[in-house]
């Protein structure tokens, strides 16, 4: 699964993974990270998620990373904003008041381009990546963010019955990637009504990842 897979998904409008409303786990649990209003929150592989509008309403600044320029343009259109466009290393930066989106390959994103962030909200990144890439991704994310605290959302299901994305990420895998750096706490878990994509029984879980030393 390369970059062309995601470009084709957006070009064809095959975005069943896109939610039309803010994620309920975000609404219920993000403020448990106890951030100061005005803090900057990073959304990796963000698409055109409605969660941006939710976080802006909460009083935070937001920065996202997204491969598809089509998704980025649709996001700003839906927010009613006209972005300023500039070059940021190997990526392209789209900016408006309190929001920056970096378009390109997330593995080309460095600490310099992302800037200072206070937290990460990962609803769609870890679960979007095949198992062979997830270790590289989690290591890169911690490196560029300075191991910022996270609200992470995962799905768990029998992947023999359906392949991702979104992929099944078990509790043991979350611990394997993040257990050494964070104190991990599952704060809510629920069965997905009607099954994931209407096909397979699945559980959705929200995790708080916070400083292991606190």
pLDDT of 91 reads: 97
Q: Is 16 exposed, middle or buried (0-12, 13-18, 19+ CB in 10 A)?
A: exposed
The token duo for 53 is 């509008």
- Cis status of the peptide bond prior to 165, with omega within 30 of 0: yes
Whether 82 shows a pLDDT value over 70: the answer reads yes
Higher pLDDT, 122 or 19: 122
Residues in the chain, overall count? 214
How far is residue 16's CA from residue 9's CA, in Å, rounded to a whole number?
10
- Cis status of the peptide bond prior to 166, with omega within 30 of 0: yes
pLDDT by residue (tens digit) across 114-133? Answer: 999 999 999 999 999 999 99
Higher pLDDT, 166 or 17: 166
Contact (Cβ atoms closer than 8 angstroms) between residue 67 and residue 92:
no
**β-bridge mates for residue 84, sequence order:** 95
Which three-class secondary structure string do you get for 44-96?
ECCCCCCHHHHHHHHCCEEEEEECCHHHHHHHHHHHCCCCEEEEECCEEEEEE
Nearest to 42 by CA among 15, 60, 22: 60
Tokens 């994103």 belong to 109
pLDDT of 214 reads: 65
pTM score, two decimals? Answer: 0.91
């Amino acid at each position: 699964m390369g970059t062309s897979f995601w470009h084709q998904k957006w070009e064809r409008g095959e975005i069943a993974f896109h939610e039309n409303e803010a994620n309920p786990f975000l609404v219920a649990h993000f403020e448990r990270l106890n951030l100061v209003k005005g803090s900057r929150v990073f959304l990796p592989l963000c698409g055109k998620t409605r969660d941006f509008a939710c976080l802006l309403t909460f009083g935070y600044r937001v920065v996202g990373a997204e491969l598809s320029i089509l998704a980025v343009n649709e996001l700003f259109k839906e927010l009613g904003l006209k972005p300023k466009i500039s070059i940021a290393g190997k990526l392209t930066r789209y900016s408006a008041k309190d929001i920056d989106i970096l378009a390109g390959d997330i593995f080309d994103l460095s600490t310099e381009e992302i800037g200072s962030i206070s937290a990460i909200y990962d609803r769609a990144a870890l679960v979007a990546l095949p198992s062979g890439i997830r270790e590289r991704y989690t290591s890169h994310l911690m490196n560029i963010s300075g191991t910022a605290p996270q609200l992470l959302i995962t799905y768990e299901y029998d992947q023999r019955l359906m392949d991702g994305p979104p992929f099944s990420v078990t509790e043991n895998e979350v611990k394997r990637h993040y257990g050494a750096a964070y104190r991990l706490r599952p704060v809510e878990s629920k069965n997905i009504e009607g099954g994931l994509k209407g096909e397979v029984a699945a559980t959705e879980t929200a995790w708080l990842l916070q400083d292991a030393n606190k």
